[in-house]
Amino acid sequence: MTETEKEKPTIKQKKAEFKKRDLELLEAINKHGSINKAAKKLNRSYSYSQKRIRKLEKEFGKLIESSKGGKKGGGSHLTEKAHHLIKRYKKLQVEYGIASKINITTWKGKVKKVKDYFCIVKTTIGDVRATVNDELKKGDKVNILIREDSVTLIAHEDKLKKIKTSARNQFKGKIKQIKTNKDNAKIEIKIKDKIIKSIITQKSLKKMKLKKGKNIIVSFKATSARTLKT
């Protein structure tokens, strides 16, 4: 499957995956004060909800604190880890929501190095230099998000030497698809097993003589590649 903006947000941690249904469960527990009440509001069984929480806790750490007795009876509340997980997931939802509207390419990778506000991410097409948008360390798995309007196309390798650019990411690829309208051209480029999208003007399309199957150089700045921890 090609990694594109159509993927649904998921936070993976070893054998567990935190998804939208898990977000709904944690938020319901936070609102109603117990797993039982949360399950009823979501039309889920208590047994399933409890097992799901336990499975998530094996990988993400303690998410629910339970109390018994007292004047108001027992209940459950979220831990700091649970609140942090909710925050991370909602951030992913925003990013993927943006991606579905403005065509953002998403690649998976693993952090090799972090320095200040930038990092180097190892992917199947090579190292990608990107901006750090989360607390990252070496070995973390991330999604790299690249806007289509931040991707520059260079038709000939000899022109690359003449062009002065601060773009640290440059890859050779082949045009897979071109879709045009009266103003712009949306282009998909295949780089090994990855797809990246770019948008250029009709004037640039004609000037560069781009067509399906043509070899192309893709370039984008590290500041145009955002990282999201998965």
In a domain, 228, yes or no: no
Per-residue model confidence as pLDDT tens digits over 87-140 = 888 877 776 665 555 678 889 999 999 988 899 999 999 999 999 876 788 999
In a domain, 4, yes or no: no
At residue 51, the 3 state secondary structure works out as helix
| CB-based contacts of 139, cutoff 8 Å, min separation 6 | 110, 111
Distances (CA, A) of 15 to 12, 18, 56, 60, 96: 8, 10, 9, 10, 23
| DSSP letters spanning 98-124 | HHHHHTEEEEEEEEEEEETTEEEEEET
Name the residue range of residue 210's domain: 148-220
Distance CA 214, CA 178 (A): 11
Which token pair is 90?
């909602």
Asked whether the beta carbons of 134 and 228 are under 8 A apart, the reply is yes
In a domain, 58, yes or no: yes
In a domain, 119, yes or no: no
pLDDT in the model for residue 101: 58
In a domain, 186, yes or no: yes
> Which 8-state DSSP code applies to residue 150?
G
pLDDT in the model for residue 136: 86
Domain count across the chain: 2
In a domain, 131, yes or no: no
Distance CA 55, CA 16 (A): 7
- Look up the CATH number of the domain holding residue 190: 2.40.50.100
How many C-beta atoms surround the C-beta of residue 18 within 10 A? 23
pLDDT in the model for residue 5: 39
Asked whether the beta carbons of 204 and 187 are under 8 A apart, the reply is no
Which of 36, 66, 88 marks a domain boundary? 88
Q: Pairing state of beta strands 169-180 and 126-131?
A: unpaired
Q: In this structure, which amino acid lies at residue 29?
A: I
- Look up the CATH number of the domain holding residue 70: 1.10.10.10
Element (H, E) at 182: none
In a domain, 26, yes or no: yes
Which of 88, 104, 131 marks a domain boundary? 88
Which token pair is 137?
């360390």
Which of 47, 62, 88 marks a domain boundary? 88
In a domain, 24, yes or no: yes
Counting as low any pLDDT under 50, the low residues of the chain are 1-7
pLDDT in the model for residue 102: 66
pLDDT in the model for residue 107: 92
